[in-house]
Amino acid sequence: MSHFSDRELGMHHKITRRDFCQGAAFAAGAGALASRARGAAASPYPPSLTGLRGSNPGSFEVLHSLRDGAFWKNAGKVQSTDEQYDLIVVGAGISGLSASWFYRQRNPDARVLLLDNHDDFGGHARRNEFHIGQRLQLMNGGTLEIDSPYPYSKVADGLMRTLGIDPPGLASRYPRANPSSTLNLHSATFFDRETFGEDRLVVGTPTGPRGAWSDFLARTPLSDAARRDILRLETGTDDYLPGLSDSEKKDRLSRISYAAFLTKIVGADPGVVPFYQTRTCGEYGVGIDAVSALDCTVGACPDSWA
C-alpha cells in the first residue's frame, strides 16, 4: 500500500455533510446495481458464468454517470432500506472479505454489509470460467500467487489456516510446468515509437550481472545518459539515502513516487523514467509516477534504499 502523506491525498480538506451524503448515495446506487447484476445472472455457487469475464457489464455505469453529471438526475430512484449495520465494507475482494471476517471474529453478533460492483465476490481472485467446445477452462486471477515464496505474516498465515489453505501442500500436489523452458520462450522488452522514438523489440531482458545489462542496454534505443543511469541502478550498490536509519528510509520512500525518487533523489536522467514507467501496471494498475518508491522495491524496480 502506498503511504503518501495525508495532505498529498487531500485528507486535510473538510468533508461537508453534502459531500458525505452524495458519496453515500453513490455507494447505495452501486450496491443496487450490483444486486441487479447478481439477480440477472443468478446461479448456484460455484457460479457457471461464462466468458472472459474481467469487469462485467454494470461495473462502471454508475461511476461514469456521476462523472458525466447524469447520476443526480436519477438520484431520486435510490431508496433507503432502513437496514442497520455495524460495518459496511466497500469491495468484496480478498481485503474486504478478510476485513469482514476479522471484524466478525471480534464481534460475533455484528451485522456486516459487503458492497461490490461486480456480480461475484473474490475481487481479482474471483473465478473466471469459459468453455472451449465442451471443455471447461478455469482461469486463475490473484490466486496465481497464493504459493508466493515470501513468508506470510502471522495474521495472513492464520487466516489461510482457518480457511484450510496450505500453499506448500498445494504446490507439491499440483506442480506447474514452466512454459518458458518447454516452448523455448524468452523475456523481451518492447520500445514503442511514441515513447522511445522507434519501435524496437529487444530480446533477453537481463536479471543478472553488469555485463548482461551492458549488452542489453547497448541494443536499446535509449540515450547514453539513460543507459548509464539504468546500469547504475540495476548493478550498483549506492545508498541514495545516506545517514537515515532503515525505518527513516522506508518512511521517506513511502512519501514519494518512484518516478520522483529516480529524478530527485537518484538524480537519474529523465529518460530513465519511461523505461520503468509501466513496471507497476500489472500489480497496481498505474505507472511509477503514481506508486510510492517503497512499494516499487518489492520486485518491480531496483531497490530504493540499498
The rounded distance, in Å, linking the Cα atoms of 120 and 92 is 8
The residue type of 301 is: C
pLDDT value, residue 211: 84
pTM for the full model?
A: 0.56
Asked, for residue 251, whether it belongs to a domain, the answer is yes
pLDDT in tens, 178-197: 666 677 778 899 999 999 99
pLDDT for the residue numbered 11: 46
Assess if residue 77 is contained within a domain. Answer: yes
Boundary residue ending a domain (84, 105, 125): 125
Residue at 206 is within a domain: yes
Residue 259 near residue 8, CB atoms below 8 Å:
no
238 vs 75, which has greater pLDDT? 238
84 belongs to a structural domain? yes
Angle between helical axes of 224-235 and 210-218 (0-180°, round to 10): 160
For residues 38 and 117, state if they share a domain: yes
The three cell numbers locating residue 191: 520500445
Query: Cell digits for 261?
Result: 525518487
Q: How far is CA 44 from the centre of its chain?
A: 29
pLDDT score of 300 more than 70: no
Residue 23 sits in the same domain as residue 110: yes
Q: At what angle do helices 154-163 and 94-106 cross, to 10 degrees?
A: 90
Please give the Cα distance from 229 to 100 (Å, whole number): 46
40 lies in some domain: yes
Q: Which three cell numbers stand for residue 263?
A: 529524478
Grid coordinates standing for 56? 462485467
pLDDT (0 to 100) of residue 24: 41
Q: How far apart are CA 31 and CA 49, in angstroms?
A: 20
The last residue of a domain, from among 98, 125, 152: 125
**Element of type H or E holding 137:** strand 135-139
How distant, in Å, are the alpha carbons of 3, 64, 93, 115, 247 from that of 7?
A: 11, 27, 28, 28, 21
Q: Read off the pLDDT of residues 266-290 as tens digits, 9 standing for 90 and up.
A: 999 999 999 999 998 877 889 999 9
Residues 104 and 192 placed together within one structural domain of the fold: no
Residue 154: inside a domain: no
Count of domains for the chain: 2
Average pLDDT over residues 122-137: 72
Provide the residue range defining the domain that includes 265: 188-296
DSSP letter at 279 equals T
Q: Is 194 found in the same domain as 121? A: no
What is the pLDDT, as a whole number, of residue 36?
37
Of residues 113, 127, 117, the one with CA closest to residue 43: 127
The last residue of one of the domains, among 79, 97, 125, is 125
**pLDDT more than 70, % of the chain:** 71
31, pLDDT greater than 80: no
- Asked whether residue 192 falls in the same domain as residue 119, the answer is no
Which residues, at least 6 apart from 237, have a Cβ–Cβ distance to it below 8 Å? 306
Q: Is residue 108 located within the same domain as residue 194?
A: no
User: Is 4 inside any structural domain?
Assistant: no
209 shares a domain with 114: no
Residue 174 domain-assigned (yes or no): no
Q: How do residues 40-74 score in pLDDT, each as one tens digit?
A: 344 455 455 555 555 667 778 888 888 898 888 87
